Amino acid sequence: MAYYGISSNLVVYLTKKLRQGTVESSNNVTNWVGTIWLTPILGAYVADAHLGRYWTFVTASIIYLTGMSLLTLSVSLPALRPPICKNAAVETCKEASTLQLAVFLGALYTLAVGTGGTKPNISTIGAEQFDDFHPEEKAYKLSFFNWWMFRLVISVAIFLAGTPFYRHRQPAGSPFARMAKVIVAALRKWKVPVPNDPKELHELDSAEYARAGKFRIDYTTTLRFLNKAAVKIGPADPWMLCSVTQVEETKQMLRMIPILIATFVPSTMIAQINTLFVKQGTTLDRQIGSFEVPPASLAGFVTLSMLVCVVLYDRFFVRIARRWTKNPRGITLLQRMGIGLVFHIIIMIIASLIERYRLSVARQHGLVEKGGQVPSTIFILLPQFVLMGTADAFLEVAKLEFFFDQAPESMKSLGTSYSTTSFGVGNFISSFPSFYSFSYHQEAWFYVYKAEVSDSMEVLAEELKGMRLREPNQVSTHEWNVQKKSLHRNQS
């Protein structure tokens, strides 16, 4: 809950309180959110290879709490934030110092490290409490991830209280090293033919897997090249000879990569909730009587919509679909993800139509030339927030369950981290065009982005034309730096 509260308001805090420009603040948000969703790969590695899921989660929770405490201090102590400025011209206000920015961003990235250990492990621990070989428990497990998204508000204290009753999985070594051994062994034996009889391949005894609490995985013909790693030839070096189960574990992780890549685009769309959508809200009429609606509060409708849709999906849709498909889940996880992707297409169409309407209202009231607040309620943005929650109920829940379900037993945390990785990459993709354009064409992307959330497109066009008339080599270095600083600090 703390993460969602911070991410929803971060772009506003960076622009209003720390006086960063639209591009810089948006990049800081997407880079931080991207890091938040990529660090679970590290947390999954530590859990699977060293500490185990339970102790990784506990340790990461302490780090997370440390980051929250530091963040609270950075926004509370006057010495750690810029002085209050009431000037209408933001560029005349004092900027945040290097120390103030370092403390604030340090706190944010401490949270990112803590998140890396909690996100891939807590849901995995919960799912592992259901026995796949017990019919009743297996049935409950099918609904676990739906209700997991609904019950995220359960506190860490309640989690710790259940410690004596948990089923704990022991670390099984580095999943990256296990996969690397298979790939290296296959490459070293790339000319060796794979025997037609799978029994001729190297495999450990079933009793050995049972003692280690692992499952033996049968031979498959997919990704056949990797089967060369299990061909009995040469020394019994772990980088030369791998078991069939180890090869199949690697295959399972590699087969999920296309699905992971397919989720990058919707994750990029989700990144707009805390940047573009919020900045749109700041230009609209937010008054309800004497109360002013915080633009970031609309993100709450994403969560509310998702919770309602998850309940409806689990209680009604699954039961109805099960009668037709005979699938215990109602529909397959990939079908559910596909429905979520369709919702994302609809969201982008609706969001573009709403943005066209917002700009047309600005033109009708002469705000293109003089600027000002667009006389249209902020609630015109509500459909895109509500539909985003509906899409999450299909795509995000199914994505989390899919990666957990398809990952081998010894790599469940790593499999779960695939889900968060797509969020991270999506946020970095959202930042990349801005970073590239600002690096090589300093004014270009900023004005494109500003045009998307501004009510003064003609003014922007004139400003952009004027800047293009003057190249950096036609002015002094000091003057050019001043221009860049002024450009970077402009806000929508």
pLDDT tens profile 226-252:
999 999 887 788 889 999 999 999 999
Q: Name all domains of the chain by residue range, CATH numbers in brackets.
A: 2-169+254-468 (1.20.1250.20), 175-253 (no CATH)
- Taking alpha carbons only, the member of 124, 105, 107, 145 closest to residue 40 is 124
Looking at residue 166, what is its pLDDT? 60
Q: Which residue has the higher pLDDT, 143 or 187?
A: 187
User: Mean of the pLDDT values across residues 259-270?
Assistant: 89
Residue 492 pLDDT greater than 60, yes or no: no
pTM over cut 0.75: no
Pick from 110-114, 232-236, 481-485: least confident = 481-485
Looking at residue 182, what is its pLDDT? 92
Helices 2-16/98-127 angle, 10° precision: 160
Residue 450 pLDDT greater than 50, yes or no: no
Q: Which residue has the higher pLDDT, 318 or 442?
A: 318
Residue 173 pLDDT greater than 70, yes or no: no
Q: Give the model's confidence band at 472: pLDDT under 50 very low, under 70 low, under 90 confident, else very high.
A: very low
Looking at residue 163, what is its pLDDT? 65
Residue 479 pLDDT greater than 60, yes or no: no
Looking at residue 217, what is its pLDDT? 86
Looking at residue 414, what is its pLDDT? 82
Looking at residue 448, what is its pLDDT? 33
Angle CA 44–50–51, to nearest 5 = 80
User: Mean of the pLDDT values across residues 51-78?
Assistant: 86
Q: Which residue has the higher pLDDT, 214 or 399?
A: 399
Pick from 55-64, 130-139, 182-191, 371-380: least confident = 130-139
Instruction: Tell the burial category of 85 from Cβ atoms under 10 Å away from its Cβ (0-12, 13-18, 19+).
Output: middle
Residue 199 pLDDT greater than 80, yes or no: yes
Q: Are the C-beta atoms of residues 241 and 197 closer than 8 Å to each other?
A: no
Residue 467 pLDDT greater than 70, yes or no: no
Distance of alpha carbon 320 from alpha carbon 280, whole angstroms: 39
Residue 437 pLDDT greater than 90, yes or no: no
Q: Give the model's confidence band at 131: pLDDT under 50 very low, under 70 low, under 90 confident, else very high.
A: low
Looking at residue 248, what is its pLDDT? 92
**Whole-number percent of the chain with pLDDT over 90:** 21
Residue 179 pLDDT greater than 50, yes or no: yes
Looking at residue 91, what is its pLDDT? 60
Residue 143 pLDDT greater than 70, yes or no: no
Tens of pLDDT along 72-82? 888 888 888 88
Spell out the residues 6+ positions from residue 428 whose beta carbon is closer than 8 angstroms to its own. 30, 31, 34
User: Mean of the pLDDT values across residues 387-406?
Assistant: 90
Q: Give the model's confidence band at 440: pLDDT under 50 very low, under 70 low, under 90 confident, else very high.
A: very low
Highest average pLDDT, of 198-207, 332-341, 432-441, comes from: 332-341
Highest average pLDDT, of 14-23, 110-119, 312-321, comes from: 312-321
Looking at residue 160, what is its pLDDT? 61
Other CB atoms within 10 Å distance of the CB of residue 195? 13
Spell out the residues 6+ positions from residue 76 whose beta carbon is closer than 8 angstroms to its own. none
